[in-house]
Structure 1
Amino acid sequence: MHLLVLLICAQVSAQITHKRTLKLMGSRFDITVVAKDTTQANVDIDIAVSEITRIEKLISSWDPNSQTSEINRNAGIKPVVVDKELFDLIARAISISKLTDGAFDISYASMDKIWKFDGSMKEMPSEETIKASVEKVGYQNIVLDVANSSVFLRKKEMKIGFGAIGKGYAADKAKSLLIEKGVVSGIINASGDMNTWGKQVNGEEWKVAITNPLNKNKAFALLPITNGAVVTSGNYEKQVTFNGIRYTHIIDPRTGYPSSGLISVTVFAPKAELADALATSVFVMGKEVGLNRINQLPNIECIIIDEKGDLFTSNNIEINKI
């Protein structure tokens, strides 16, 4: 018995943590794996990179050769037959749209880009312009045909995009593939979309810091993550202020107006895809509606920081502040 314990300890201590940072899907990815040596770690990370690249080719609305671009080109014209993987991703996205009353909507890509957060906006767009900007948005107009695995956008010039869910989905897929290949532990961090499994080489759980958006050098808390995902959406960098109201770059796809009142939303969920979508949705829904919705969902928790710097949490999460 003692020998077994010693052998297990020796095996764990022989493992190393290896991390690589690179640009994928137009964003920074940090891929960390626990492996027996650097050579094996690099092989594992290469597998993850290949998988993320494959997904980008499938879902990118910027790549004219992707199936997503083909769907968008045929908006209002005809259905497009797609791989089951993309069909299922779109189906799940529509489910989240229904769950959030449209606060999350992949057809947001149809929205006219009338809000500028680069300092060039000097006045608010008119009410008519804002209303017109969302005329082609609406998940209800995405038609799925299960029998033919086809996707049809009812309105001409309608578009779908995976900006609020794609990186999380890619992180989930890379994680699943690495687990399948026998990688015992790691983190896929897709620009703040963190997906973890296993434990650190010292046996401790991976931890995530909840940063104070009003002072990035300070953290509110350090929380453990066990085989799950955490996504933080922050809007404190891209913003404009008109008539004393601060508007941020996360826009409500139903109204065309930017969200206001919150500066940071962190969602814990079993998968990064879902955490990604819900973090965006809570921003749009606001503190009260957002927390109420999260509290109705199993195995999902949320931390919100409002524009005053006050912290709010869902029912089943406890934070010991640093």
Structure 2
Amino acid sequence: MNIRRILSVFLSAALCLSLLAGCGGVASSGSGSTSGTADGPQRYSTVFYDAFDTVTQVIAYCDSEEDFNAQMTALHADLLEYHKLYDIYNDYDGIVNVKTINDNAGKAPVTVDDKILGMLELAQQMYDTTGGKLNIAMGSVLNIWHNYREAALADDDDSNNQLPTQEELTSAAQHCGIGNLVIDDDAKTVYLADPEMSLDVGSVGKGYAVEMAAQAAEARGLTSALISVGGNLRAIGTKPDGSAWVGGVENPWDSSEVYTTASSTVAAVKMSDLSLVTSGDYQRYYVVDGVRYHHLIDPATLQPAAYFDSVSVLAPDSGVADCLTTGLFCMPLEEGQALVESLDGVEALWCTTDGQVIPSSGWNSHSN
């Protein structure tokens, strides 16, 4: 089970990048690799593994390798900073992060970086947008599921795997009120009013970080790139010839550990200044008595949401797309369709538990 999870992360990220490149494969190295003719911007690519515990891969067109390397050094540094700021498990010297906020629940407000404030404020907005289906204040419940899942993944014998009791989940759910997340913009502080609550920003942190890092790269002059952080895709501009980048939606029903473009996608979309994010039940899970229990927990039941196998969102903002995939995954199809139709520039693709692939009304206009 551990091996398959690791393979899934690395191979699905490789699949996404090969699709986005619009070619059969991508060479990559720490310092960047290049292809193309001598005229005009050259195509470079790189990969690194230390941000958000996943694989980051980038394809970009730059005037020189020196320009590309400078851009990637800055992008890498940005993602690592966000990774540390949004970490809920680890402390870092000299850094006040989300774990610091959780450690001070019920004790005192914590002065935080604007990068934390912006992410938390987006999460608050998306709580309202999704009717509470996206709730970063569910840390107490999600931590229970996390601990059971990690214990199972550390044990090679699935027969030892256990489920949390509904009683312990219900008890923890008494401490998930988003109203107890108190943000003071003027003082730049965050306070958790309930001493038993905690934040889990896994549904927003990576997407928000990718968006902010992409915007910073654009401000530094990057005009043509495709960024994949663990499958969270963000396109900057178009390719130099004016053609769009192409992103693939992974097939949630493909149980193979060897991914190919033929067997492992259910859709491909053109992307220019757009983000594509997917949440699925195949990404993080463990098995009890032959049943898969994934990490996307429905606030209404406190159990893994059972409406879909995956939901993908195409939107201009990666942070918004990240929040929406979680929210849509935890609500019925009709409710999700109505939500998507109410949002400007947002499209979605639902892969249902009975094998249907259902696009929103404007999804096919982006199809490759």
Structure 2-normalised TM-score?
0.77
Taking structure 1 as reference, are residues 226 and 126 closer, same or farther at Cα in structure 2, changes over 3 Å only? same
Aligned length: 312
Residue number among 97, 103, 118 corresponding to 1:88 in the alignment: 118
What is the Cα-based RMSD across aligned positions, in Å?
A: 2.6
Retained in 2: the 8 A contact 1:109–1:160?
A: yes
Aligned residue among 191, 197, 214 for 2:253: 214
8 Å Cα contact 1:221/1:320 also seen in 2: no
Structure 1 residue 11: deviation in Å? 10
* Distance in structure 1 (CA, Å) of the matches to 2:314 and 2:297: 22
Question: Equivalent of 1:113, from 127, 138, 144?
Answer: 144
Q: Which residue identity does 1:252 align to in structure 2? A: D
Q: For structure 2, list consecutive stretches of 5 or more residues without a partner in the other structure.
A: 1-35
Opposite residue 356 of structure 2, the aligned amino acid is D
User: Post-superposition shift, 1:125?
Assistant: 3.8
* Distance (Å, rounded) in 1 between the aligned partners of 2:307 and 2:39: 47
1:18 to 44, 55, 63: 44
**8 Å contact from structure 1 (residues 220, 321) kept in 2:** no
- Does residue 81 of structure 2 align to residue 50 of structure 1? no
Alignment of 1:242-321 (within 5 A): 247-318=293-364
Aligned residue number for residue 6 of structure 1: none
SS at match of 1:32: strand
Query: Retained in 2: the 8 A contact 1:134–1:255?
Result: no
Check if 1:167 corresponds to 2:206.
yes
- After superposition, where does 1:132-281 map in structure 2 within 5 Å? 132-215=171-254, 217-237=263-283, 238=285, 240=287, 247-281=293-327
Aligned residues of 2:247 and 2:268 also touching (Cα < 8 A): yes
Q: Deviation digits for residues 63-89 of structure 1, max 9, x if unmatched?
A: 324332221121011212223332222
* Whole-Å separation in 2 of the counterparts to 1:231 and 1:30: 15
Change (3 A) 1:206 1:107: same
CA contact (8 A) 2:139 2:199 kept: yes
CA shift for structure 1 position 249: 2.2
Q: CA deviation at 1:14?
A: 2.4
Distance in structure 1 (CA, Å) of the matches to 2:296 and 2:264: 24
Q: How far apart are the structure 2 equivalents of 1:108 and 1:250? A: 11
1:27 has 2:54 as partner: yes
Residues in 2 aligned to 1:72 and 1:102: alpha-carbon distance in whole angstroms: 20
Residue 131 of structure 1: which of 170, 175, 198 is its match? 170
Please, which runs of 5 or more residues in structure 1 have no aligned partner?
A: 1-9
| Residue identity (%) | 25
Paired residues of 1:210 and 1:222 also in contact (CA < 8 A): yes
Quote how far apart the aligned CAs of 1:152 are. Answer: 1.1
1:123 CA drift (Å): 5.9
- Give a deviation string over 1:196-223, Cα, whole Å, max 9, x none: 1121244310011223222352433321
CA–CA distance in 2 between the matches of 1:110 and 1:71? 14
Q: 1:39 aligns with which of 43, 55, 66?
A: 66
**Deviation (angstroms), 1:142:** 0.5
Q: What's the TM-score, normalizing by structure 1?
A: 0.87
Larger Rg: 1
